[in-house]
């Protein structure tokens, strides 16, 4: 049976808004992690079959197939193609899935999968707002089929997060406690050097810039996004800049190029849920993945679930029955940031390194995505 292996995984430090990576062109951000993974593994870049990158809001410096542009900006051979994926917040996780699927289908042997996002230069939802000059106020308004099915109510991650907190009866205090824990875990991980093996500094960005000193008292003083609501900026992911990449290889490539894989792709899948709630899909996606993989949540040693908003994680824990001590053990996007298109393989690099550190076997990654979808990847440490 053909296997797909992760040979290595790297990421930039995650820059905060207007921080150390804000002035770096997206192509150069992507090129930086591509070069890092090539140099660390010792592969001949000419042997790469494809470069699959995630990116959201592909306009300006992120337009024109950023996967291809980043590869060429790295100075590597022109015969290697590239393709850009948009599955919203899970774009680079989907890039990893597409790369692994190419290997599992015996149509490729070496794939670089990853993602890039400079949210300082290209603000979130820029692609949507750019459409306003053409008469599209939202991607959905004007669609007869969409309106007949979902009406004309607001479709946003903020509304979805608020609805999740209400449906699962998660208090503002619980949300803020999780957010505070995210910062504390992230700061502890940085101090202990847990991210050192996965991060490749770039310019002034030498360490993750997001974690900050905060407290429950400070969080409680913030105004909610809607009057009487539970969601504040303190329990949401940060606007960030960054890039990440993994090298995927087949059995044949591992032998041919004398590579040492660090993990095996055990399972990959995606599922959808209500697009108005938007952020709940990790729940059915995880249930589906565990069933297909023949595992239970107790078999999973570590979990990375993207902290788009704290209620996403807490509702998922309630429904899946996961041990919170296994979830985002080094902090999450509330503290470390969420560079949209890069987050999937960024979290995979963290999951892989931490799995090795604790000697665990299985790690699970899931991300909620715009449109109400979610990817799940289960890896087995080698």
Average pLDDT of the residues in 70-78: 98
Structure confidence at residue 173 as a pLDDT band (50, 70, 90): very high
Instruction: Determine the pLDDT at residue 153.
Output: 84
Is 17 inside a domain boundary?
yes
Burial 322-331 (b: 16+ CB within 10 A, else e): beeebbbbbb
Determine, yes or no, domain membership for 360: no
Q: Is position 348 within any domain?
A: no
Question: Residues of the chain with pLDDT > 70: what percent?
Answer: 100
Residue 113 lies in a domain: yes
Percentage above 90 pLDDT, the chain:
98
Structural domain harbouring 11: 4-123+239-257
Q: What is the 3-state secondary structure (H, E, C) of the chain?
A: CCCEEEEEEEECCCEECCCCCCCCCHHHHHHHHHHHHHHHHCCCHHHCCEEEEECCCCCHHHCCCHHHHHHHHCCCCCCCCEEEECECECHHHHHHHHHHHHHHCCCCCEEEEEEEEECCCCCCCHHHHHHHHHCCCCCCCCCHHHHHHHCCCCCCHHHHHHHHHHHCCCCHHHHHHHHHHHHHHHHHHHHCCCCCCCECCECCECCCCCCCCCCHHHHHCCCCCCCCCCCCHHHECCCEEEEEEEEEEEHHHHHHCCCCCCEEEEEEEEEECCCCCCCCCHHHHHHHHHHHHCCCHHHCCEEEECCCEHHHHHHHHHHHCCCHHHECCCCCHHHHCCCHHHHHHHHHHHHHHHHHHHCCCEEEEEEEECCCEEEEEEEEEC
Give domain status of residue 10, yes or no: yes
Pair 262, 352: CB distance under 8 Å: yes
CATH number (domain holding residue 246): 3.40.47.10
Q: What is the mean pLDDT of residues 69-94?
A: 98
Quote the pLDDT of residue 105: 98
Q: Per-residue pLDDT averaged across 209-227, rounded?
A: 96
39 is a domain residue = yes
User: pLDDT digits over 115-168, tens only?
Assistant: 999 999 999 999 999 999 999 989 998 999 999 999 998 899 999 999 999 999
Question: Active-site residues: which are they?
Answer: 89, 338, 368
What pLDDT does residue 131 have? 92
Q: How confident is the model at residue 190 (pLDDT cuts 50, 70, 90)?
A: very high
Q: What is the pLDDT of residue 1?
A: 73
Question: What are the distances in angstroms from CA 276 to CA 72, 157, 159, 293, 333?
Answer: 39, 8, 8, 29, 22
Instruction: Dump pLDDT digits (tens) for 175-189.
Output: 999 999 999 999 999
Q: Confirm whether 332 is domain-assigned.
A: no
Report the chain's terminal Cα–Cα distance, integer Å.
Answer: 17
pLDDT in tens, 228-285: 999 999 999 999 999 999 999 999 999 999 999 999 999 999 999 999 999 999 999 9
Mean pLDDT value of segment 81-110:
98
Overall domain count for the chain: 1
Q: What is the pLDDT of residue 46?
A: 98
Domain assignment of residue 202, yes or no: no
Across the chain, what does the average pLDDT equal? 97
Mean pLDDT for the stretch of residues 99-115: 98
Q: What would the mean pLDDT of 68-82 be, rounded to a whole number?
A: 98
Q: Which pLDDT score is estimated for 175?
A: 98
- C-alpha separations of 306 from 119, 124, 284, 342 in Å: 17, 17, 15, 12
Q: What is the pLDDT of residues 21-56, one digit of tens each?
A: 999 999 999 999 999 999 999 999 999 999 999 999
């Amino acid at each position: 049976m053909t296997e797909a292996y992760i040979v290595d995984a790297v990421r930039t430090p995650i820059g905060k808004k207007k921080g150390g990576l804000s002035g770096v062109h997206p192509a150069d951000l992507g090129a930086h992690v591509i070069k890092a993974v090539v140099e660390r593994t010792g592969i001949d870049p000419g042997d790469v079959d494809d470069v699959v990158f995630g990116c959201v809001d592909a306009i300006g410096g992120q337009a024109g197939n950023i996967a291809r542009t980043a590869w060429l900006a790295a100075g590597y051979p022109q015969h290697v193609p590239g393709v850009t994926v948009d599955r919203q917040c899970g774009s680079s996780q989907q890039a990893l899935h597409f790369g692994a699927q190419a290997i599992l289908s015996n149509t490729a042997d070496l794939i670089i999968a990853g993602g890039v996002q400079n949210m300082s230069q290209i603000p979130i939802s820029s692609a949507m707002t750019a459409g306003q000059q053409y008469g599209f106020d939202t991607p959905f308004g004007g669609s007869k089929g969409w309106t007949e099915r979902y009406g004309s109510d607001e479709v946003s991650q903020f509304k979805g997060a608020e609805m999740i907190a209400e449906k699962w009866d998660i208090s503002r205090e619980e949300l803020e406690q999780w957010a505070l824990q995210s910062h504390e875990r992230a700061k502890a991980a940085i101090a202990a050097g847990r991210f050192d093996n996965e991060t490749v500094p770039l310019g002034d960005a030498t360490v993750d810039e997001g974690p900050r000193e905060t407290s429950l008292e400070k969080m409680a003083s913030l105004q909610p996004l809607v009057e009487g609501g539970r969601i504040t900026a303190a329990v949401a992911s940060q606007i960030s800049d960054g890039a990440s990449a993994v090298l995927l290889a087949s059995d044949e490539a591992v032998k041919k190029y004398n590579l040492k894989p660090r993990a095996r792709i055990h399972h990959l899948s995606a599922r959808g849920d209500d697009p108005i709630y938007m952020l709940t899909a990790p729940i059915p996606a995880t249930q589906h993945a565990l069933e297909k993989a023949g595992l239970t949540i107790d078999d999973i040693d570590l979990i990375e679930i993207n902290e788009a908003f704290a209620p996403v994680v807490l509702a998922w824990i309630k429904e899946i029955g996961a041990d919170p001590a296994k979830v985002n053990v080094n902090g999450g996007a509330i503290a470390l940031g969420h560079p949209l298109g890069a987050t999937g393989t960024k979290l995979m690099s963290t999951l892989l390194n931490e799995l090795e550190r604790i000697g665990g076997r299985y790690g699970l990654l899931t991300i909620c995505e715009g449109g109400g979808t979610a990817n799940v990847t289960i890896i087995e440490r080698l």
